Amino acid sequence: MSPLATLRRMHAIAGAPLLLVSFLARLPVSMSLIGTLTLVTTQVGSVAAGGAVSGALALGEAIGGPVIARFADRRGQRPVVLLTSLLDAALLALLVAAVFAGAPVWVLAALAALAGLCMPQIGPLARSRWIALAKRREHDRERSIAAALSVEGVLDETGFVIGPALVGVLALLVHPAASVLGAAVLIGVFGALFAVHPTALPGTPFTPGQDRLARPGLLVLILPMFCQGLFFGGAATGVTAYTQSMGHADLSGLMYAVMGVSSATAGLLMASVPARIALTARLRAASVGLGLLSLPLFLAPGPVALGAAMFLMGCAIGPHIVTIFGLAERAAPPARLGQAMTLILSSLILGQALGSTVAGHAAEAFGFHGAFLVAASAAFGAAVVAVGVVRSRWYAVPAPERTRPAPSTAA
């Protein structure tokens, strides 16, 4: 199935408007993190203050996301996502006002943490929604689920590429505060639209003994996704340090875009992989490939070679992320699918925040090679988990009777 065919299948399942709304509603996740860092650093005049406030926001997201998703699984997506979207928009706007009012850093950090706690993780909730819709298609259920996971992986990655780019553009053309306020508008408007869309999943009653989230097949996936986050943080920092050392700092965004193109294309192509190739085998291949393809970063003699290395590296990123979410869908209890997906994504966010911090210190001490070493080590760490820890028996194909109630697809 070609990337275009994959997108057509998604359109047939629920229509393009749901794709567009869910994409725009997830942009605030990356925009708010980078935007807060830029705004606080600019207004307060301290990188440490900006990092502290941005870190509080990331920590709040990582803690609050699974809790919000749990309520959405139990009470239904519509009321939970609508309430948290509007509340989060208000808190982000309040954070901006506090920055301009000269509030102490601890107050800014507390407001950022609250905003993070209330931010609905649209990506994981959209995944659970698409999976429920795909399971209605009895004739091609597995292919439809694969298509949904592939496209959702691409949307997440694209959001993490476009979000920081939007922050840079708004900060340059308008003001650093515009990016945080823009994130507030996006989550308030499109988060609400995502909540009230007719495909919103209803709540599922709790079933004692069957809805346990502490399953080996699910918990182990936190490790490779955390490593993927470390990889993102290390690679992004390394590319920035590399382009600065070459006197082409303005090319760093282009390098990320090159990686995003190959990663998105490879992620979409995962929907066409034959079902006989097990998901665990795909995970091992993608993680080992990610480690090996990170090595050319150390050998790139100039911007062109770096762009080629980034393109090759992206070919493993998309399949790695898509496969992890595919395995999570197999391992998670259907009644807690949204929370399971959010738990996996939260580990990515934490890994990226930690990776950026560690790689920043490594780049200061050893140059861009130090940051690239963080990225490569994380990639090989994911490979060790995939090859040595993950077991195929944890991811049996779910029986038809496990399918959760499917919502309407009416536009």
Sorted by where each begins, the domain ranges of the chain are 1-205, 212-397
Judge whether 95 and 36 are in contact, CB under 8 Å: yes
326, with CB counted inside 10 A (0-12, 13-18, 19+), is: buried
**CA gap 325, 185 in Å, rounded:** 28
Judge whether 323 and 382 are in contact, CB under 8 Å: no
Residue type, 221: L
Q: Could you say which architecture CATH assigns to the domain 1-205?
A: Up-down Bundle (1.20)
The whole-number pLDDT of residue 408 equals: 45
**CA gap 170, 172 in Å, rounded:** 5
**CA gap 44, 219 in Å, rounded:** 40
121, with CB counted inside 10 A (0-12, 13-18, 19+), is: buried
pLDDT tens digits for the chain (411 residues)? 555 666 676 667 666 788 888 889 888 887 887 788 778 877 887 766 777 787 788 888 888 888 888 888 888 889 999 999 999 999 999 999 999 998 998 999 999 999 999 998 888 888 888 777 777 766 666 777 777 777 777 777 677 667 766 776 787 788 888 888 999 999 999 999 999 988 888 877 666 655 677 788 889 999 999 999 899 888 877 887 787 777 766 566 677 778 877 887 887 788 778 878 888 999 999 999 999 999 998 887 788 888 899 899 989 998 898 899 889 878 888 777 778 888 888 888 888 878 877 887 888 788 888 889 999 999 999 999 999 998 888 887 655 444 444 444 443
- Sign for the pseudo-dihedral over CA of 163, 239, 259, 153: negative
**Do 1-205 and 212-397 come out as alike in CATH topology?**
yes
**CA gap 97, 351 in Å, rounded:** 29
Token pair of 237 as six digits: 């920092």
Residue 325 CA to its chain's centroid (Å): 11
* pTM for this prediction: 0.75
Residue type, 359: A
The whole-number pLDDT of residue 346 equals: 84
**CA gap 294, 313 in Å, rounded:** 6
CATH of domain 212-397: 1.20.1250.20
Around Cβ 138, how many Cβ atoms within 10 Å?
A: 9
Query: Which CA distances in Å does 218 have to 9, 224, 404?
Result: 27, 11, 19
Backbone torsion region of residue 102, taken as left when φ is above 0, otherwise alpha when ψ lies between -120 and 50, otherwise beta:
left
The whole-number pLDDT of residue 320 equals: 92
393, with CB counted inside 10 A (0-12, 13-18, 19+), is: exposed
**CA gap 210, 195 in Å, rounded:** 27
The whole-number pLDDT of residue 385 equals: 94
Token pair of 37 as six digits: 């860092």
**CA gap 192, 89 in Å, rounded:** 10
**CA gap 130, 128 in Å, rounded:** 6
The whole-number pLDDT of residue 96 equals: 94
Query: Which CA distances in Å does 16 have to 8, 19, 23, 132, 272?
Result: 9, 5, 11, 17, 20
